[in-house]
Amino acid sequence: MALLSSAAPVADADPPAATRDDRPRRRTWRAALRRDWQLYSLAVLPLLFFLVFRYLPMLGNVIAFRRYVPGGDLFGETWVGLRYFKMFLNDPTFWQVFTNTLVIGALTLLFCFPLPIVLALLLNEVRTRFLKRFVQTIAYLPHFLSVVVVSGLVLQMLSVDGVVNQGLRAAGQDAVAFMQEPGWFRTIYVSSEVWQTVGWGTILYLAALTTIDAELYQQAQVDGANRWRQTWHVTLPGIRPTMVTLLILNVGTFLAVGFEKILLLYNPLTFPTADVVSTYLYRVGVVSGSFSYAAAIGLFESVIGLTLVLSANYLSRRTVGTSLW
């Protein structure tokens, strides 16, 4: 098992540094190919995968600017310029699903980012190894379930005959048709995300916690800091790089809110709060066949997502000095 470096970024996204190392013995491509052709040959199939299934679809977004006929040319038939972008920017449904996306994304971030930190800190105060392992094992479990199973559990528990409504009835309340009420959808969605992700989310923090120098705590004690102050002045700064890294990643996936789970949990009755950009473009594109229109929405979403990652990364590099690259 490896320890976390102090900067703990998830991705090694630092290619310039690698090439810089090479500078003293600069080789020509011809020499490199002759020497390492076997290595390069191992990269051929993976590269083919990336080009066909990752980069070709990026180019495929060109259908957002062209009229696409299902079954026709992969890249569309005729140029229509920004027509589809103008269409969705004037589409009231688009603005509604965009708002829903922002709200659900913000709520998810608000709960699913800090709660793993809290849980990790609580777990860190458990001294008995066995108990700590036990709680961890239980808490990681939901992460391994299919989103279909999680949605099934949610629907079963919240159905009219489900256990939540039993509780309400026992408390003398009326049963609630949770899955049919737009007002409940966000709560349900975020709760199920918390249930599934918080335990697993503690792993990186727990690893970071073990790397904090025990001497820092001793010094803090000498300075008369109680445990709360130690947590505030030693523990939290110790896991800050991990926090920042995960925050950047979370912000980057802000708009890509759990598409699959929403698709499984929503229904036309809850569309007013539950329908998000990705589910809307799925219905518009795949279900109704307006591929170009849906691609325009998708491209808009991807560009915003990329912008969010880049700006979060830039901001954090400038302010706290931690960044993904």
Partner 1 sequence: MVSVLEAPATRPQGLRPSRGYRVFQVFNGVALTLVVVLTLFPFGNILARSFSGEHEIRSGQVSLLPRGFNLTTYRIVMSDAMFWTNYRNTVVYTVVATALALALTTCYAYVLSKRQLKGRGLLVAIAVFTMFFNGGLIPNYVLVSSLGLRNTLWAIVLPNAINVFNLLVMKAFFESMPTELEESAAVDGTGTYGTLWRIVLPLSKAVLATMLLFYAVAFWNSWFPGFLYMDRQELFPVTVYLRNLIAGATGGADQTAASDTALQIGANIQAVTIVLTMLPILLVYPFIQRFFVSGVMLGAVKG
CB nearer partner 1, residue 99 or residue 166: 166
Q: Does 263 bind partner 1 (CB under 8 A)?
A: yes
- In DSSP terms, which residues pair with 229 in a beta bridge? none
Q: Are strands 66-67 and 78-79 parallel, antiparallel or unpaired?
A: antiparallel
Answer for which of 157, 176, 247, 315 binds partner 1 (CB under 8 A) is: 157
Question: Binding pattern to partner 1, positions 269-308, x when CB under 8 A?
Answer: x--------x--xxx-xxx---x--xx--xx-xx--xx--
Asked if 320 touches partner 1 (CB under 8 A), the answer is no
Distance CA 65, CA 84 (A): 7
Nearer to partner 1, 21 or 318 (CB): 21
Interface with partner 1 in residues 159-198 (CB under 8 A): 159-163, 165-166, 169, 179-180, 195
The nearest distance, CB 194 to partner 1, in angstroms, is 9
Per CB under 8 A, the list member of 104, 209, 251, 276 interacting with partner 1 is: 209
Distance of alpha carbon 124 from alpha carbon 230, whole angstroms: 13
CA triplet 268, 271, 274: central angle to 5 degrees? 130
57 in contact with partner 1 (CB under 8 A): yes
Contacts of 231 (CB under 8 A, 6+ apart): 121
Structure token digits, residue 35: 């020497």
Tell me how far, at minimum, the Cβ of 292 lies from partner 1, in Å. Answer: 8
**Minimum separation from the CB atom of position 190 to partner 1 (A):** 14
Among 34, 43, 86, 314, binds partner 1 (CB under 8 A): 43
Residue 50 to residue 58: CA distance in whole angstroms: 11
The verdict on 146 binding partner 1 (CB under 8 A) reads yes
Q: How far is the CB of 187 from partner 1 (least distance, A)?
A: 15
Residue 226: C-alpha distances to residues 180, 221, 222 (Å): 50, 7, 10
Which 3 state secondary structure label does DSSP give 221? helix
Binding status of residue 3 toward partner 1 by CB under 8 A = yes
Which residue number, 18 or 318, has a Cβ lying nearer to partner 1? Answer: 18
- Is 93 near partner 1 (CB under 8 A)? no
Task: Give the containing element (helix H, strand E) for 78.
Answer: strand 78-79
Alpha helix ranges (H) inside 171-270:
182-210, 214-222, 227-230, 236-238, 240-252, 259-265
Question: Rule CB under 8 A: is residue 264 a binding residue for partner 1?
Answer: yes
Least distance from partner 1 to the Cβ atom of residue 104, Å: 16
Q: Counting contacts by CB under 8 A, is residue 23 touching partner 1?
A: no
DSSP states of 35-56 as a string?
A: HHHHHHHHHHHHHHHHIIIIIH
Considering the rule CB under 8 A, would residue 42 count as an interface residue with partner 1? yes
